[in-house]
Structure 1
């Protein structure tokens, strides 16, 4: 009599098992996001104050007039539902960021069974390095926001008052944080390509002119103001990290060269396969 349950080969999981595993990981990840979002909602006013802190809001001088007309703006919300929408948006964003260790861990646990030991090592290294790099880029974005806001507001006519909707600034801040954070991941991607044997340090260093030009052009497009300060704040760290990636890749290539053919299983007269993009 055949068993009702079909056993999968050792080391493999049937499709139904994968779906159950995915459901379990999703429930845990979404639950963590919901919990952190609720907690963030209790402090949404403090979070909103933190987000809009870079905005140069108009103060008042003696007599009740604006302190710096044309160089500041009136920070405001528009409509009865706007504060509620803003609170939900800020709380959800904080919840996603606060729960990132949980849902990244759940993603790792779902993918880990299908990875080889070396792939697991590289993936863990990618996560351990990628998260701090992203947070560093986000911190740079927040540091640049005051200068970007002042440059944008400086175009306001002298006889006009600039109304600064908090929703619009939150969207701008979110875009800048994502752009800066993801841009800081570029050197890590280059190092991972080198570790996988796809890209050599010599080829990577040979691209330095095109890389610097491309980073500067990207910074000019990605920054909302286009002023030199914002461009340098984005382009400078990326170029420095690119040079670090070249140095790390060069050390990795030297380590491979020292090993020679000892770990390849090739004879002294056998040609080794030429990896892609190597010179």
Structure 2
């Protein structure tokens, strides 16, 4: 397609994704109260189980409304993830061959569960993270926490986990369209392991190294699975190119023989 057609398609797909996010946000407004109660539960557990003095407070008149918007938009992104992930992938597929377009359904079937799994894993480690971070509070002091800062921290953490779990799928998609090869990705395995462990150490501040391991292990496993798929795809592409080159050479030789006759 021409550049103008690409831009038009990008606009249309962005519009569809935006509508899906808006509809998901409306649904987020409906379930806002129970979701907020679930997000604030780690602070409540500190008071109930460990006898601490911790409380969530709003610091402004408009803060409750701002928080409702943030949480609802986050829920909209989560609920509409099948739509905007499909639109993202469908924008790439016109450059693929017919057989390669068949992976679109497989992409959505893998990407959406991975995105939601990353968010769920972040949700599982949140109570431990809150407990460990508040352990640094000196004796005789209370934790008076601004609710907007606390909830924003939780939402960003969960979104970061979801996106992190999507990266292997994105790498395979880039390999599928020929932007990067499996060998290029494999060369960066050392820095990738370092960055994953660093991210896990900051995102899952547990009392021991096991909490970091529980987060880093699935991310590294997904990364190396993506590398394996990329290497297999590179071999398939190289084999197909070899067959096509042999066919072109045979056709050229046949044409030269006919011209000679």
Query: Smaller-chain TM-score range?
Result: 0.7 to 0.9
Deviates more, 1:80-89 or 1:41-50: 80-89
1:37 lines up with 2:25 in the alignment: yes
CA contact (8 A) 2:13 2:87 kept: yes
> Please, which of 157, 178, 181 is the counterpart of residue 138 of structure 2?
157
Write the distance in 2 (CA, Å) between the matches of 1:196 and 1:16.
19
- 2:199 aligned to 204, 213, 218, which one? 218
Relative to 1, partners in 2 of residues 1:16 and 1:247: Cα closer, same or farther, differing over 3 Å? closer
* Residue 48 (structure 1) shift: 0.7
- Alpha-carbon distance change, 126 to 84 in structure 1, aligned in 2, over 3 angstroms: same
The DSSP-based 3-state class of the residue aligned with 2:243 is: coil
Contact 1:77/1:167, CA 8 A, preserved across alignment: yes
Secondary structure at 1:263 match in 2: helix
Cα distance, 1:27 vs. partner? Answer: 5.1
Asked if 1:200 is matched to 2:188, the reply is no
1:206: Cα distance to partner?
5.5
May I ask how many residue pairs the two structures share in their alignment? 246
How far the C-alpha of 1:29 sits from its partner, in A, is 4.0
5+ unaligned residues in a row in structure 2: which ranges? 251-261
Deviation at 1:138, TM superposition (A): 1.2
Deviation at 1:224, TM superposition (A): 6.8
Whole-Å Cα distance in 1 between the matches of residues 234 and 11 of structure 2? 41
SS in 1 for 2:244: coil
- Report deviation, 1:43: 2.4
Indicate the RMSD between aligned Cα atoms, in angstroms.
3.7
Deviation per residue, 1:179-238 (Å, 9 max, x gap): 21222233223433444453235x655554443233223333x42747534432332111
Q: Does 1:237 align with 2:218?
A: yes
| Candidates 101, 115, 122, aligned match of 1:134 | 115
Equivalent in 133, 143, 152 of residue 124 of structure 2? 143
In 2 relative to 1, CA 24–170 (structure 1 residues): closer, same or farther, beyond 3 Å?
Answer: same
Q: Per the alignment, in what secondary structure is the counterpart of residue 181 of structure 2?
A: coil
Normalized against structure 2, the TM-score is what? Answer: 0.73
Structure 1 unaligned segments of length 5 or more: list them: 1-11, 61-66, 269-279
**TM-score between the two structures when normalised by the length of structure 1:** 0.69
Taking a change above 3 Å as real, the CA distance of residues 163 and 103 of structure 1, as seen in their structure-2 partners, is: same
